[in-house]
Amino acid sequence: MSNAMQTLLVDKSTPGHWRVTLDNPPINVIDDGMYDAFYDLVGEIEADAALKVVTFESANPDFFIAHYGTAGPRSRFGVPPWIDAATRLARSGVLSIAVIRGRVRGGGSEFALACDIRFASREKAIFGQPEVGTGLIPGGGALQRLPPLVGRSRALEIVMGANDFDADTAERYGWINRALPDAELDAFVADFVRRVLSFDRQALQTVKLIVNQAGLPDPVALKATQDIFFQTFSWDGAKERLPKLRERGIGQAGDFERNLGRHIGNL
């Protein structure tokens, strides 16, 4: 198994349920290697005729996924195949659930948004789309997935304000399904998964297929936005701000990353 694949640890011990743990130290940055591993995982998900539910959680209690990072190896595809893999997961008959503890920002937030359902720890989950504060734009789906969930005005508040949001606010806005007390989160998810596993797969798949007809963003629009995102690294604002981020500790397990929403407004 490659190092890239080891960032996604898959427990298949429960029939019909894969439990995926995201593990890319030190702060679970989602890099091109993890995107490649996710692409491979989606292929395995599609090939398993008995699979009903996939849950995603983090090995790091402080970071579900910090954000996208460029320090890792480039994708074997050139541009990471995130849009294709996320679209295929959404269109599959398998229910995907993000179980969120810790910070989930930028590309990490977009990973969670690409899952069908999001449950979060009330005390420990923090959400953000900080890209505009770094001179970039969100390129992995936030601009398409947030407005239907939270509304146009709140999507603009989230993205253009580039600040952090607690789990209660994220729940109230519609960013996530539920914010639960941390001590109750695992039991709630386990019970929800148990219920879904008890139901007929044909009924589950049919419901998701029909809901998808009105509930998924256009892959062409997603790809076009991703193309613009990679262009933003050459914009003057990004060239000015990205060195400051590196100087202050972006990508490191310190105060800057833990409180990125606050720090990003003072670059």
Annotation marks residue 131 as catalytic: yes
Q: How far apart are CA 124 and CA 198, in angstroms?
A: 30
* Tokens linked to 233: 């690294």
In the set 44, 46, 57, 131, the catalytic residue is 131
Going by C-alpha positions, the residue among 123, 117, 83 that lies closest to residue 103 is: 123
* Tokens linked to 182: 């941390």
The pairing of beta strand 53-58 with beta strand 17-22: parallel
H-run or E-run covering 116? none
Q: What are the respective helix, strand and coil percentages of the chain, to the nearest 5?
A: 50, 20, 30
Q: How far apart are CA 179 and CA 98, in angstroms?
A: 12
Handedness of CA 66, 71, 72, 75 (dihedral sign): positive
Annotation marks residue 123 as catalytic: no
* Tokens linked to 128: 């953000």
In the set 44, 57, 110, 171, the catalytic residue is 110
Q: How far apart are CA 92 and CA 86, in angstroms?
A: 10
H-run or E-run covering 84? helix 82-91
Which residues are designated catalytic? 110, 131
